[in-house]
Structure 1
Amino acid sequence: MIRDEDFIKNINVPGPTKEEIRCIVMCKSEVSCDDIVVDIGCGTGGLTVEFAKRAKMVYAIDQNSLAIETTVENIKRHGVAGNVVVKEGDGLYLLKKLENFDILMIGGSGGKLQHILEKGYKKLNVGGRILVTSILLETCLEAVKTIEMLGMTPDVVNVSISKGKLTERGTMMLANNPVTIVSAHKS
């Protein structure tokens, strides 16, 4: 796993996804060197880069031009440009133009989560995986309901990470935002 401090950040773009969350997402995704991954709402590219180190191909999509710029910088920094295609625009629209794939990662949906999941499910190969990361309870609930409606069984994990900061008297634990990871496999 790449350390958080090794990513280029942009104060106007969320991310990168924290290292511990990236570890869990990689584990839940069961990503392999044969997989094609679509990362919608790629932000600064933390998950895009991690997937690119393991997968055959990654499509990184975001509608925020600053996110796209930062993702491209991180792709270059970590030497994975050879198997990443970066696309700026609406995730739902761009998803329609892609061929079938093995993993759908959604980190941001622009309010179109249900539609992205429905369209993504149709393009997901049998045995494919869907993952949604959320900081909002409503996003988690929408992901769970939509995944169930699509006939899959959602796995829901809520992760709370605290990092130690050394102080004069000892180690103070500082909490990061909890993140919920919803994942499912297509039969």
Structure 2
Amino acid sequence: MLEDKDFFKSCDVPGPTKEAIRAILLYKSEVTSDDKVVDCGCGTGGITCEFAQRAHEVISIDTNPEAIEITNKNLDKFGLGDNVTLINDNGSNALKDIDDIDIAIVGGSGRELENILDIVHDKLNSKGRILITAILVDTKVEAINKLKDLGYNPKIMEVNISNGRVLDRGILMISENPIAIISAKKR
């Protein structure tokens, strides 16, 4: 696993997704070296970098040109990227040209989550997996309802990672990146 502290970051671009969350996403995705992965809303590229080490192909999408730039810098820093395509566009547009997806990870959706999930559903292969990371309660509900409408049996996991800091009078636990991970497999 790549360490959080090693990533290039920006105040204007979310991420990277915390290391413990990335580990759970890798586990839940069941990624293999044959998989084609789409990272929709890649931010600074934390998820992209982890999957680039394990999947056959990764396609990362973000509407923010600075996100694409920082993701590219992180890929270079870690010696990754030979199997990564970066697309500066919104998810709905970019996904239309991508077929036979094994794993779709949706982080940022720019208020287009339902449309993105419709397209992903059509583009997933028969054993495809969807992972959605959500912070807002509304996004969690929207994702679950849409996946159910599409015939999936979604699972949701609320994750709250806390790291400790030793003080002179005790240990202070600080919550980082509270997030829900919603997962579903094509049936």
What TM-score comes out, normalization by structure 2 length?
0.98
Aligned-residue CA RMSD in angstroms?
Answer: 0.8
**Following superposition, which runs of at least 4 residues in structure 1 exceed 6 angstroms of deviation?**
none
1:77-120 deviation digits (Å, cap 9, x = unpaired): 11111000001011100100112210010010000000000110
Deviation of the 1:11 alpha carbon: 1.3
**Counterpart residue number, 1:116:** 116
The alignment partner of 1:179 has SS state of strand
**Aligned residue pairs, count:** 187
Q: What is the alpha-carbon distance in structure 1 between the residues aligned to residue 159 and residue 99 of structure 2?
A: 32
Q: What is the alpha-carbon distance in structure 2 between the residues aligned to residue 128 and residue 80 of structure 1?
A: 24
Q: What is the alpha-carbon distance in structure 2 between the residues aligned to residue 121 and residue 80 of structure 1?
A: 28
Structure 1 residues not aligned, in runs of 5+: none
Within 5 Å, which residues of 2 pair with 1:1-187?
1-187=1-187
Q: What is the alpha-carbon distance in structure 2 between the residues aligned to residue 3 and residue 178 of structure 1?
A: 18
* 8 Å CA contact 2:17, 2:177 repeated in 1: no
Deviation of the 1:140 alpha carbon: 0.7
Deviation of the 1:177 alpha carbon: 3.7
The alignment partner of 1:73 has SS state of helix
Q: What is the alpha-carbon distance in structure 2 between the residues aligned to residue 171 and residue 8 of structure 1?
A: 28
What TM-score comes out, normalization by structure 1 length?
0.98
The percentage of counterpart residues that share the same residue type is 48
The alignment partner of 1:81 has SS state of coil
1:120-144 deviation digits (Å, cap 9, x = unpaired): 0100001110000011011111110
